Chain A
Amino acid sequence: MAIKAKHQRLVLLAIALIVLIGAGLLAAWALRNQASYFYVPSEIVADPPAPDRAVRLGGMVEQGSLRTEADGVTIAFVVQDGDARVPVRFSGIIPSLFVEGSGVVAEGRMGRNGVFIADNLLAKHDENYIPREMQEMTTAQAERVVAETR
């Protein structure tokens, strides 16, 4: 019995698509570390990058850790991811979304004393969208309110 040309094309294309998706997934899997935009503190602590190698450090600014130094432009704070903490120093202009308890990406290098010296700070917005009336609450409280009103 001859197979209809239409069915032959369907089978051929289905095989081609499966191979294509497999190749895409393999490539994404191979890239899983290289394609990350930053290291989190536990990665930095477990495997410290060579001093003077430019890296990005991303995580949450620890509550109560933000201090402005005597010169007025240098700030010091701690970036944590729940498992590890890395102290950071930065002098320069701070983005407006940079607050304690919020996400940050610091570009810079690891100093020899274990302090990360940032050349540039980028604030990271999280996935929460919360009206300003709720700004007195902590992020966790506001998340609960959002969950209840839905």
Chain B
Amino acid sequence: MHGFANPARFLRIARWLMPLCLGAGIVIATLALGWGLFRAPPERLQGDTVRIVFLHVPAAWLGMAGWMGIAAASFTELVWRHPLAGIAARGCAVPGAVFTAVCLVTGSLWGRPAWGTWWVWDGRLTSMLVLLFLYFGWMALSQASEASAGGHTRAPAIFGLVGAVNIPIIHYSVIWWNSQHQPPSISMGKSAMDAAFLWPLFASMLGFSLIFAGVVLARMRAILADQQADARLRRKAMAEATY
């Protein structure tokens, strides 16, 4: 665990892992979307609108995975005071929020032809919108606490853990409560989705997950570089002040 405590070691690995994740992710996601958009059959009732699922489901998964990343990093931060944990949480926030927004927009575009409405306030849609607002709040808090003296990461870490309560609520919203949104098609070991849709969907989820990992690594490297530049400037200012 603390093998990565030294940012230099993390940076050595991230330097080749980041382009690998991004490159492989872009290739796989492009192929999967091409497969889903042009080769997968139209669905029995939805027709061609089914194709939006190949973007909607990966976006929903990564919007939730982003917050699970923030929560795991927050736990590590609070218990072990790991120097990279706060940086990892900050790296997850923006891509997580973007994928959550993509999920909401694609869902809305699908809802209009399929359900007959852009938006309803059912459990699933509402809890997903709450997740987007949690991301906004977390980013604002993280920025504010960074600007304050010492750059505390304790407050965003507590927020990150408390906000994680929303993740099981999103997942179970369609099981606990009657909702406009359908229950999950894929659960442990069984699928109500035909293989013609299932495989391009899995490929798309893999591709976008790799892109997500690449973006998180890139953002962590950028934050570390920022901190190094700040520290160097501060040292220089101190050295000049002593003359």
Contacts and interface: CB of A to CB of B under 8 A. Distances in A.
Contacts of B67: none
Contact of A122 (B80, B117, B162, B173): B117
A121 interface: yes
A36 B79 contact: no
A102 B43 CA distance: 14
B195 A149 contact: yes
B176 A9 contact: no
Interface string B145-174: 000000000000000011001001100110
Interface stretch (B10-18, B20-28, B183-191): B183-191
Given A20-B165, A132-B43, A122 B180 contact: yes
A97 B178 contact: no
Interface string B18-53: 000000000000000000000001111111001001
Contact of B80 (A6, A20, A35, A38): A6
Interface string A93-137: 101111100100100000000000000111111111111111100
Contacts of B43: 129-132
A3 interface: no
Interface string B188-209: 0011111111100000000000
Nearest to B48: A132
B178 A127 contact: no
A129 B43 CA distance: 6
Contacts of B47: 132
Given A20-B162, A58-B178, A127 B114 contact: no
A32 interface: yes
B106 interface: no
Interface band, chain B: 35 or more
A55 to B, nearest CB: 12
Contacts of A40: 178
A129 B192 contact: yes
B193 to A, nearest CB: 4
B115, B161, B173: residue with the most chain A Cβ atoms closer than 10 Å:
B115
Interface band, chain A: 35 or more
Nearest to B184: A127
Contact of B44 (A28, A32, A134): A134
Contacts of A105: 180
Given A127-B183, A129-B185, A10 B53 contact: no
A143 interface: yes
A6 B79 contact: yes
Contact of B185 (A97, A102, A127): A127
A142 B44 contact: yes
A13 interface: yes
B42 A127 contact: no
A146 B46 CA distance: 17
Contact of A37 (B79, B116, B120, B196): B120
Contacts of A95: 113-116
A68 B16 CA distance: 65
Contact of B192 (A93, A102, A143): A143
Interface of B: 41-47, 50, 53, 75, 78-80, 113-117, 120-123, 161-162, 165, 168-169, 172-173, 176-180, 182-185, 190-198
Given A37-B179, A129-B43, 14 more contacts: A6-B79, A21-B165, A96-B114, A105-B180, A122-B117, A127-B192, A130-B43, A130-B44, A131-B194, A131-B196, A132-B43, A134-B44, A142-B44, A149-B195
